[in-house]
Amino acid sequence: MSEQEKVMNEEIQTEDIEKTAEKAVETENGVASENEAAGGESEIENGANETQETADEAAGSKEEKKKGFFHKDKKDKKDEKIAELNDKLIRQVAEFDNFRKRTEKEKQQMYGIGASEVIEKLLPVVDNFERGLAAMTEDEKNTAFAQGIELVYKQLMTALEELGVTAIEAVGVEFNPDFHNAVMQAPSEEYESGIITQELQRGYLYKDKVVRYSMVMVAE
């Protein structure tokens, strides 16, 4: 082989080596590009997963808030219902207490009216006892009959006093139209003007209520 042919073969071999090296570099660059692309896709996929997780967390938080809102609303309605029932119960208890007091007062008034009517009917009996005892002589007062009548009279007066019946003061006190009924007026040397000088019929009180006014004579 001539010297010229050797040189040409060396050049051809050099070109083949260079082409082979270029192909190897291109192949390596292509693999690197594919890896980068794959890495980018992986990053995109990871980003999508993170976005989905964030969305899921946001949805869960929203759902929890929604549940908490409904729970709070339900609790508020329950508290309002309890307050309403409690207010209704308090009003009913107050109304019942007022009804009880009113009924008790009416019962006492009816009892007082009934007692006053009975006492008023008994007072003429008391008057007759007093007239009978006053008309007796000293000898008659010492008899068993007179003493028996006096005992019955005292027993009747004791029973009336226990019921709350008291006699109205008259002689020697100032005339009071709330308790006395003046049927006569005459001058008096013993009492000043306006003072009761004589009791013609005794008056009585049942507790604080006048059952019968005292019939009196008043000094001029």
Give tens-digit pLDDT for 158-206: 999 998 999 999 999 999 999 999 999 999 888 999 999 999 999 999 9
Q: Where are the domains of the chain?
A: 74-163, 165-220
DSSP class of 191:
S
DSSP β-ladder status, 214-219 and 180-186: parallel
163 near 125, Cβ under 8 Å? no
8-37 residue pLDDT tens = 555 555 555 556 555 554 555 554 445 444
Q: Which residues pair with residue 210 across a beta bridge?
A: 205
Among 168, 173, 174, CA closest to 213: 168
Residues 6+ apart with CB under 8 A from 164: 206, 207
On average, the pLDDT of the chain sits at 78
DSSP β-ladder status, 165-167 and 196-201: unpaired
148-158 residue pLDDT tens = 999 999 999 99
Query: Does position 80 have pLDDT exceeding 60, yes or no?
Result: yes
**Token pair of 114 as six digits:** 């009934």
Among 190, 184, 187, CA closest to 219: 187
Q: Which residues pair with residue 32 across a beta bridge?
A: none
Which comes out higher in pLDDT, residue 41 or 73? 73
How far does the chain reach from its first CA to its final CA, in angstroms?
A: 188
- Scan for tokens 């309890």, then name that residue: 82
CATH 2.30.22.10 holds for 165-220: yes
74-163: CATH topology: Hemagglutinin Ectodomain; Chain B (3.90.20)
Query: Does position 45 have pLDDT exceeding 90, yes or no?
Result: no
Fold: same for 74-163 and 165-220: no
